[in-house]
Structure 1
Amino acid sequence: MLKITTIFSNILKIDPIQRQSIISLFWQVSFTAIGFLSTMYFAHMAGASILGSYFLFLAYYGIFGMVTDGGFGGAAVKRISEGEEPDAYFSAYFVLRLVFTITGILVLLIFKDYFVDLNKSGMFAWLLLLLLVSAIAGPISSGVTGKSKMGIRNTCEGISNISRVMVQVPAIYLGYETAGLAGGVVAGVILAAIIEFRFFDLHLVRFKWKHIKSLSVFSFWLFLTSSGVLVFSQADTVLIGYFMNVENVGIYRVVLQFTGIATFSSNALRMTLWPKVSQWGKSKEIYLVEESLSRSISYSLILAIPVLVGGILLGDRLLYLFYGTDFAQGYYVLIILLAVQVINVFQYFFTMYLDALDHPQESFKVTAVGVGANIALNIILIPIIGIDGAAIATLATMTLNALLAWRALSRYMTIKLEHQSLFNITISSVAMGVLVGVYRLFVPLSNVWITLLAVALGGMIYGFLILKFDKKVYTEMKDIVEKVGIGFVWPRWL
């Protein structure tokens, strides 16, 4: 017990961004591991069709959730993080969110018969319940985020995701299928909100029209941008369901989830940096913004690039062994979407920094072009080449978005990439790929354990090489390990 207390005490002494990123990364890894295992279980127990209905439910929730939020959530985080009248801005957002949600639910009830997929699977009522719950949970989360309590925010998000799975697994076992999956999402949101509220220190107060106006100015562009990002990320799912069937939706989304391993570090940094970049932009500390961007991209690619290489070499066997024969046909989709995750590192950080630096209109312009191109390409390619076409459409438009966002952001700050770090990552990934390729050439991947051994071998080779080649990564990793004091002796031979 004393040792655990010492470790937590040491963690609190680490630089806030590093500390919050570590906490976020821990939860990213924890939930992804649990998510992978649970999805494997769902794939074998329920099949691609049930999973497809569930993923469509999540897609519709994302779209309608964005509409009921109206972009005010991001605007509230921005204004609260600036430290001026945070209680008033929170109160204004809370009321607006509640009004938008009630209005949205009434509209959905009026047009209920048009949502054939949701009605057939029994998901419509769950969608309404989730929207209502999120009307309370969303403002609490935004308030915690705006106060830069990212350790709490990330931990509660992890708890939400894990508790979701803890409900879904027994529900599937008991035969509740889509209702069990949707009910798990609702339960996770409620539990996280209850815990997060314990650390919530904002209050409902009287607010004025100026607070709504201030939120509206920022939220207008943020809403358009966020809506564009959401359509960008969900259009393929909805259009696959329209042109094909829910089974194909299940295969595509399971493969997309599988590529989530490439986003561990970038997701951790994204959630941590947003309020920090907002504060630095407000205080005109642009040098901190520029340095954080270059390091964030490097640390995100440390994972994304080797995962792409590993997916090319082992992805076919991993899909077959983990999820079953039906999902193995998603191998080419896997390769394309892993490439998407690499491009997404640049695209997301560039647009995120535009928003945090108070230029949401620029972010919207970039996203609007990408959304239009994405929908058009999906409509053209999905009927011709199926889910491969959806993946190609995403890769093409994500690349376009990244280039346009780079151009927009470069007008407000100097974008500096750490070329030596990127070179080290690439060389280490290629060397790992050669060695894993030789392993596969001589060792048949006949079962899951031999395949996982290849994954572990690749991870150890890459980890050793990147620490050996990149002194900056080596120094920072060693510093964190020594500060935490977990009893791990840093190897002298590295």
Structure 2
Amino acid sequence: MNLGRSTFKLFLMQSGRSLILFFAVIYFARQLGASELGSLFLFQALIGLLSIPADLGVRGALEKRLSEGEDPDRMLGSALFLKAILYACVAAVVLAARPFVNAYIGADLAIVLILALATFELSDLFVQTLRGELRVGETAGVMFTQRLLWVSIGAVAVSLGYGVMAIAVALAVSGLVTAVWGYTKCRTRIGRPAIGPIRSLVRYAKFHAISSTGGRVYQWMDVAIIGFFLTQQFVSVYEVSWQVTLLVLLVSKSIGWTIFPQVSQWDADGNQDEIEWVVSKGISFGLLFSVPALVGGTIFAPELLGFLFGPEYAIGAAVLAILLVEKLVQSVDDIIESTLRGIDRPDLAAIATLVTVGVNLVLNPVLVLTVGFVGAAIATTVAGIVSAALHSYYLSRLITIEFPYRIAGWYVASSALMGAILLGVQSIVPVTNTAVLFAMIGFGMVLYGIFVISISTVRNDVVVPAVRALI
């Protein structure tokens, strides 16, 4: 597997998916209003949180075992068997609690929720099957199509006067289509479940279930808590701010997805030097984008939310700035956590996740009740810092982590200079509309690009290797 090309394919896919969702959220925000959009976000939050008990680490365990070449057909069949049992239990609970679920969401979506959960779990399972086959780059088309199909159907439905129900149904349909397509791309077939493969999956999944929970909790727990204590309008403002910050993680997420199966193979072959090299390079690439995004996003936070989504969303400027700090930390944690799992230590990742989730669950309701929805951003950021610190500590006990301090310092210096110039220009040319906003963002990107390319260390250690990896 070519790590550079696979990462680039996933980066392009992630960029496309993120931009599609970004513009879709802008459209939905302007068409539906904050309250109705809040119902959609709560629907998605429940899918994300319910996927935890509906999976319990099985997908990650399947990817790990397939990357090791262990009885692939029976592994996939056994994974489906385990997931069918888990999903049936979750679906039964949601069905029994249907009135409460509908009241929480603010719309009659419990049945659609059950269907969407099933299609998304299948789609994700086959995507991770492809990753386990070391065909990470080929997952790009499947994941991109899922997002494009959902947004396209949802946008058409909204333009015809339909509301959240139609968007939720479109989400379920997109999952079903990509589940079928994903399976047709897999070389592994669905074999008969067997005790041996089931035990092998469970051995890994029992720890991975805990570590994988962290991502779901980060993404959706704060939204769920805001929806419980505050109004749906605050849910919309917070989630819109969150979606903007997700653009920062395009590179680190792509790297994390790509290196996991490769690190797993290197670990099985005893190639520790390769693992240490890819960790250092991965962090260098991830920080390249997250550092300037923090500076620029903080400067233009009110304009980004107010001009793009509507004046009522500008109150989320502080949330956006705080979450950009969290994304800066996560751009490093994505690489560290994927490596820790790849070297077959899901138990350590699980410990880190237990502590992190505990911090998040304690801080979120306390801070939401005391300082409002800004408190959710603070809680999530603190939890993110704890997660990165613990994952780094555990990984450093197993391999040597060479953090690229010098390169990171140049990123900080270049971003600070970029920010100073942007503030100076903004004092002369105020940002009064969307066109000026995008012009300022583009100007900042050009400035930062010039600054970092002019630095020989960054150019030789980051830019040139990236270009060579793609050739």
Q: TM-score range by the shorter chain?
A: over 0.9
Large movers: runs of 4+ above 6 Å: none
Contact 1:157 1:192 (C-alpha < 8 Å) held by counterparts:
yes
SS of structure 1 residue aligned to 2:192 = coil
Match of 1:440 among 418, 426, 449: 426
After superposition, where does 1:22-61 map in structure 2 within 5 Å? 22-61=8-47
Contact 2:252 2:334 (C-alpha < 8 Å) held by counterparts:
no
- In the TM superposition, what is the alpha-carbon distance from 1:420 to its structure 2 partner? 2.2
Contact 1:261 1:307 (C-alpha < 8 Å) held by counterparts:
no
Report what 1:474 is aligned to. 463
Structure 2 residue runs without a partner (length 5+): none
Q: Distance in 2 between matches of 1:111 and 1:329?
A: 34
- In the TM superposition, what is the alpha-carbon distance from 1:432 to its structure 2 partner? 1.1
Q: 1:121 to 1:294 in 2, by over 3 A?
A: same
Counterpart residue type for residue 209 of structure 2: F
- Pair 1:74-2:63 in alignment: no
Q: Distance in 1 between matches of 2:275 and 2:339?
A: 8
Contact 1:24 1:151 (C-alpha < 8 Å) held by counterparts:
yes
Counterpart residue type for residue 121 of structure 1: A
CA deviation profile, 1:392-414 (whole Å, cap 9, x unmatched): 11111211221122111111111
Report what 2:136 is aligned to. 150
Report what 1:379 is aligned to. 365
Report what 2:251 is aligned to. 265
Match of 1:401 among 363, 383, 387: 387
CA deviation profile, 1:159-213 (whole Å, cap 9, x unmatched): 1111111111111112221112212211221222233233211122234312111
Report what 1:416 is aligned to. 402
Q: Distance in 1 between matches of 2:122 and 2:405?
A: 45
Contact 2:102 2:108 (C-alpha < 8 Å) held by counterparts:
no
CA deviation profile, 1:236-295 (whole Å, cap 9, x unmatched): 111101110111101100000001111111111111111111111111111111111111
229-238 or 15-24, which deviates more: 229-238
Q: Distance in 2 between matches of 1:174 and 1:241?
A: 28
Contact 1:118 1:124 (C-alpha < 8 Å) held by counterparts:
no
Report what 2:146 is aligned to. 160
Q: Distance in 2 between matches of 1:478 and 1:210?
A: 44
- In the TM superposition, what is the alpha-carbon distance from 1:373 to its structure 2 partner? 1.3
CA deviation profile, 1:419-467 (whole Å, cap 9, x unmatched): 2221221121112111111110110111111111110000011112111
Percent of residue pairs bearing the same amino acid type: 26
Contact 2:259 2:339 (C-alpha < 8 Å) held by counterparts:
no
Structure 1 residue runs without a partner (length 5+): 1-14, 484-494
- Pair 1:200-2:186 in alignment: yes
Report what 2:443 is aligned to. 457
Counterpart residue type for residue 446 of structure 2: M
Q: Distance in 1 between matches of 2:384 and 2:166?
A: 34
- Pair 1:275-2:275 in alignment: no
SS of structure 2 residue aligned to 1:417 = coil
Report what 1:186 is aligned to. 172
Q: Distance in 2 between matches of 1:124 and 1:17?
A: 41
Match of 1:320 among 306, 311, 314: 306
138-147 or 460-469, which deviates more: 138-147
Counterpart residue type for residue 89 of structure 2: T
SS of structure 1 residue aligned to 2:185 = coil
- Pair 1:296-2:282 in alignment: yes
Contact 2:127 2:142 (C-alpha < 8 Å) held by counterparts:
no
CA deviation profile, 1:339-383 (whole Å, cap 9, x unmatched): 000011223322222211111111111111111111111121101
- Pair 1:308-2:294 in alignment: yes
Report what 2:233 is aligned to. 247
- Pair 1:65-2:54 in alignment: no
Contact 1:229 1:371 (C-alpha < 8 Å) held by counterparts:
no
Q: Distance in 2 between matches of 1:129 and 1:435?
A: 51
295-304 or 430-439, which deviates more: 430-439
Q: TM-score, normalised by structure 2?
A: 0.96
Q: 1:105 to 1:412 in 2, by over 3 A?
A: same
Q: TM-score, normalised by structure 1?
A: 0.91
- Pair 1:368-2:354 in alignment: yes
Q: 1:188 to 1:88 in 2, by over 3 A?
A: same
- In the TM superposition, what is the alpha-carbon distance from 1:142 to its structure 2 partner? 2.4
Q: Distance in 2 between matches of 1:478 and 1:77?
A: 29
Counterpart residue type for residue 464 of structure 2: T
Contact 1:122 1:178 (C-alpha < 8 Å) held by counterparts:
no
Q: Distance in 2 between matches of 1:253 and 1:419?
A: 32
Q: Distance in 2 between matches of 1:477 and 1:464?
A: 17
Q: 1:417 to 1:46 in 2, by over 3 A?
A: same
Count of aligned residue pairs for this structure pair? 468
- In the TM superposition, what is the alpha-carbon distance from 1:65 to its structure 2 partner? 1.6
Q: 1:339 to 1:159 in 2, by over 3 A?
A: same
Q: 1:131 to 1:271 in 2, by over 3 A?
A: same
Q: 1:320 to 1:97 in 2, by over 3 A?
A: same
